[in-house]
Chains A and B, each alone.
Chain A
Amino acid sequence: MKRLLNVRIITPVVFSILVLFFWQFGYRYTLFFQEPLQLFLTTGNYFWETLKLPAGFAGYLGEFFTQFYVIPFVGPLIILFLLLLLQFLVEKIFCFYSNSNKWFVLSYLPSVIYCFVLSDEFYLLSGLIAIIIATALSLFAIHIRNGKTRAVSISALIIVAYFISGGAFFIFLFTVLVAEFIGRKKRQNYSKAPIVLLVLWLIISIVIPVLIRNYYDPVPLRQAFVSDRFHKISTVLPFPSLIMWILIPALLWISAFFSKGITHNALVNRIAQLLILFVVAYSSYKQFPNPNAEKVKQYDYYVRHQQWEKIIELAEKDLPRNAFAVNYLNLALVKTNQLGNRLFEFRQLGSAGLFLPYDREHLSSVFGNEALYHVGLVNASQQYMFEGMEAIPDLRKSTRALKRLTDVAMINGDYALASKYIDLLKNTLFYKKWAQNAELYLYNELKINTHPDWGIKRTIRPQSDYFFSVHNIDVILLSLLHDNPNNRLAFEYLMSYYLLNKDLGSFMRYVSLGHAFDYQYLPRSCQEAVLYVLGLQSREAVQDNPYPINPQTTQRLNSYVNIYTSYPDAEMRLKNDFGDTFWYYFHYR
């Protein structure tokens, strides 16, 4: 009894700790990232509009819970709660034929798999909820003792299960079929359902999705059976979800034929189940979580909350290697007046690291809008964000996108448009306050002009018109500077663009625009580039240069040149002391 008690207490405790640890310390930014990629409205209209589609109920609950991810630690708690609920239901499935204690450890199997599945951002919480709902309905149905009542209930519940849980209704179907096939042998007083009834249930299961697709909600055939509430891309078959639909009924079957567990020896039985759990957990862990993506989402979280120093700290610990992260790092550097000084301290990826090219897909648009917005290219930011929202794979709207679109509409004085977005956000739980505050600014030019963000953007946004293309970003940055010579971000981005592209001619032509910014010295990378160009002319040109250049930089150039011109293995020798300079980048990158 003591041992038994231990297992029943220790297992959920260990499971809970591991789940919370995994989500809170491993993948919390995935949750923060997912939350604003939906627009959950608290209106009755939204409730009914969502519910009227297959899997709408599971979808509604999924979106409802997902909105709480915005609160730190609540996301992991919600996931833990749902995983424990699933485990509880699966344990009850095991209990149907045998003593649950024999299979207690393995009842965690579906929960363990789905814990990792959810770390893939494309798998939705609504999928887990749909599985829970279908499992609960299955349990309810198979526990009805009266054969006739059960038969009628199952016939009706197949349709209910399909409508509220989408493809997870296969769990219901398969579970009741398994129960009916073997139940009469294994359970006393479990009356036999006629085979014709089983065939009828199968027919209902096939016909209902087809009918709904043909006459109610036109979707591709596969989507009609699966629904779009498991995977964000409706054309992708959610393989792990499919496994669940088979696994849970299969567990019922297993429990019926192996009522004593895997072996008669309780200890071996438990160890064997633990081993199975471990193997499945390990393979799921290898399959679904993506640490690199999590890192990018961490950058994204900091950008959204304008925690620029944290981005730089993160990059200092682990050099960013993909364009999204480099783009965010450069944005953090420019926002903290460090881009010109520290540009070459970090691995650079050319102009894409400054402004992401537009790729007609979700991430580059959403991430790419940030730099454009902060530099003052608000229309381009609007374009990126609008397209980014449109490219969200599950066709949902996004609170994050709507906030940014409101920002731009406010800056541009498109108040009717801003009002539309504000009305939507006012019907959310966590963006209501923001929207109500924004509403106070509508049609109030003076108030907007003094807004800490919108007011500034109004002064730095383009005044002269041109067609925007990120491929001509240098020309566009020049135009921004022409419209507002005090746009420091535009200047530093422009200089960085020239330096990263090694375009020293353009750099020298426009570096003097930096006089507008009261630099004691030019940003270090600019100093290095200026000295390099002048150094190619003559020693005197370096000494008599009119630019605000720190004498230390001149000394460093001399040291660099000495090594560069004296050693065949100069690259290696220079790397430590000069790896963060423009000179090194120019010569060796």
Chain B
Amino acid sequence: MFKSDKYIINIPFLLLCLFTIACSNYSVDNYKEIDSYPSIYPDYTDITIPYNIAPLNFLFTDNIEQYELLVQGEHGSLKIRGKNAVRFRMSSFKNIVERHKNSTLTITVFVKIDNEWIKYKPFAWSVSSYPVDNYLTYRLIEPAYEVWNEIQIAERNVSNFTERIIAANNMADGSCMNCHISNKNIPESSFFHIRHQTGGGTVVYQHGELRKIDTRTENTLSAGVYGSWHPGGRYIAFSTNEIIPEFYSTHDRRMEVYDTSSGLIILDLERNEVFSAPSIDRAAYFETFPEFSADGKTLYFCVTDSLTLPEEYEKLKYSLCAVSFDPESGRIGSKIDTLFDSSLHNKTVSQPRVSPDGKYIMITVFEYGTFPVWHPDARLYLIDTQTSEILKLPEVNNNDKYSNSHHSWSSNSRWFVFASKRDNGMYGKPYFSFIDENGQAHKPFVLPQRNPEFYHYFHKSYNIPELFSKSNKFNALDVERIFKSKAETVKFVGKE
């Protein structure tokens, strides 16, 4: 019996050793070495990855005849060969990556060009032991100007290639759907908007139920637009905006989306009431992009002086400010603190998102305006909430041109995802980046796809990527049902 157990224990070990030995040798023995990385798409060279990420399939962008690729680490290796596209087997990839948590994998690439083998400089994948949230939702939409046709909100399991549609506008009379936002403290809860004359409203998923709430009132400027969920789950802060799109005529800019008026409201989900306060809804200012702090006691928002528009659009510079918030009473403080002063930096700020551990606020910073997506200069910065230091994240903003925006934190505050148009200025894609203990961000990488050619032929933008630790428990049919139902109304209970 004892003998037999020993035998069983040793077989996997033996197999592992054999596997490692078999895989650790190159089959290419006659090659030329080049001191540069191979030209691959997506760029997965020297990146930090979560151990639960889907296989990082990629293409060689040069015309090659054959490749051989060796993934090596201290706990094993993996070798694959092919013609042009590197497609890992799910199990092999998972196996080797998970065995190298807190370790580094070295990827050595040989390619055959004109009958000659070339060995490139190896690149590295540092495997983080912090997982990224398994679920990523995004809006799939053509990057059009004003028109939309097919809009879907999809949920992708980032640890494999499964994607499912959780809302589709073809089942909601073609209406616009946007801003699917999670509550990091209460997994599975989320909200998004359906814009429709009769069936529209804010769709809230909470406690296993879908609700549709019409946040418009006679006393507010518009329905809720940009929103942030209070960590306690009772409140959602919204901006109300009068949004105008304008179209540039010269070649380097496409469109400008700005508000001619805006303010903030807070929706009480328990009482179906909305309220505001003089500090967050002032006539002489445009307030927008609210964001609750991780402890729920502070409300951050972007604010600028009201200007004459569109004439002064280039003077629109928003600062990041904060007021206190008492979740028990719903009272909003009157003292406004400034965290990012646009006049000091001569930049504008938008889309503040607080890390779930409360240590950082990530913001999008650009030259002017409120909507960063079409600003080629839009970059992500971090604000350290304890020191107020502003970190410019050069590793993340490593693209010369085109926007980085719409960022979302993973629930462990170690990963964030953002939409970047860096590839061609038009089609946004979700990029992941790691933040280490020192607040150091790592080089981002794009969401992997089963077919590495996918992004070449896909003509939609990944809009508003949002990480969820648990899968959303509703689907497109549920949204169709709620679209057809009557929206709950809310009552404006005043500005304190």
Q: Which A residues are within 8 Å of any B CB, using their own CB?
A: 41, 43, 45-46, 213-214, 218-220, 223, 234-235, 360, 365, 377-380, 383, 386-387, 390-392, 395, 397, 411-414, 416-417, 419-420, 423-424, 461-469, 476, 479
Contact = CB atoms under 8 A, between A and B. Distances in A.
19 contacts: A46-B457, A219-B168, A219-B171, A234-B170, A377-B249, A379-B249, A380-B249, A390-B149, A397-B459, A412-B251, A413-B251, A414-B251, A417-B424, A420-B426, A420-B456, A466-B248, A468-B249, A469-B246, A469-B247
Interface residues of B, number: 38
B142 interface: yes
Contacts of A468: 246-249
B310 interface: yes
A416 B424 contact: yes
B385 to A, nearest CB: 37
Given A45-B451, A218-B165, A467 B246 contact: yes
Contacts of B170: 219-220, 223, 234
Contacts of A365: 147
Contact of A390 (B142, B248, B426, B427): B142
Contacts of B480: 218, 220
A218 B475 contact: yes
A378 B246 contact: no
A386 B461 CA distance: 14
Contacts of B477: 213-214, 218
Contact of A467 (B146, B247, B459): B247
Contacts of B250: 379, 461-465
Contacts of B150: 395
A218 B456 contact: no
Contacts of A383: 145, 247
B234 interface: no
Contacts of A220: 170-171, 480
Interface in B56-79: none
A334 B245 CA distance: 31
4 smallest A-B Cβ distances: which pairs? Answer: A412-B251, A218-B476, A416-B424, A467-B246
B31 interface: no
Contact of A379 (B144, B247, B457): B247
A207 to B, nearest CB: 15
Looking at chain B's contact residues, is the secondary structure mostly helix, strand, loop, or mixed?
Answer: loop
Contacts of A479: 249
Interface string B320-343: 000000000000000000000000
Interface string B147-171: 1111000000000000001001011
B423 interface: yes
Nearest to B174: A235
A45 B144 CA distance: 25
Given A379-B247, A423-B456, A218 B146 contact: no
Contacts of A390: 142, 144, 147-149
User: By CB atoms of chain A within 10 A, which of B142, B251, B427, B480 has the most?
Assistant: B251
A91 B34 CA distance: 69
B251 A467 contact: no
Contacts of B165: 218
B475 A411 contact: no
Contacts of B424: 414, 416-417, 419-420
Given A395-B149, A423-B457, A468-B249, 5 more contacts: A360-B146, A386-B142, A416-B424, A462-B249, A467-B249
B451 A386 contact: no
Contacts of A414: 251, 424-426
Contacts of B146: 360, 387
A383 to B, nearest CB: 5
Interface in B270-324: 310
Nearest to A218: B476
B251 A378 contact: yes
B254 interface: yes
A387 B145 contact: yes
A467 B171 contact: no
Interface in B228-259: 246-254, 256
A211 to B, nearest CB: 12
A469 B142 CA distance: 22
Nearest to B253: A465
Contacts of B249: 377, 379-380, 462, 465-468, 476, 479
Contacts of A395: 149-150
A469 B252 CA distance: 18
B389 interface: no
Contacts of B475: 218
B341 to A, nearest CB: 28
B453 interface: yes
Nearest to B426: A417
Nearest to A419: B424
B459 A417 contact: no
B147 A420 contact: no
A340 to B, nearest CB: 25
A386 B144 contact: yes
B149 A379 contact: no
Contact of A424 (B247, B251, B254, B457): B457
A439 B459 CA distance: 19
Nearest to B310: A467
A41 B425 contact: no
B171 A218 contact: yes
Contacts of B423: 416
B453 A45 contact: yes
A392 B248 CA distance: 24
A136 to B, nearest CB: 30
B456 A391 contact: no
Contact of B251 (A223, A411, A423): A411
Contact of B149 (A391, A411, A413, A466): A391
Nearest to B168: A218
A379 B251 contact: yes
A274 B193 CA distance: 58
Contacts of B253: 465
B254 A387 contact: no
Nearest to B423: A416
Nearest to A480: B249
A223 B170 CA distance: 10
Nearest to A223: B170
Contacts of A386: 142, 144-145
B144 A387 contact: yes
Interface string B24-38: 000000000000000
A402 to B, nearest CB: 9
A461 B168 CA distance: 39
A169 B98 CA distance: 48
Nearest to B245: A467
B57 to A, nearest CB: 14
A420 B458 CA distance: 10
Nearest to A39: B459
B167 to A, nearest CB: 9
Nearest to A418: B424
Contacts of A461: 250-251
A467 B311 CA distance: 10
Contacts of A214: 477
Nearest to A461: B251
Nearest to A405: B426
Contacts of B248: 379, 465-468
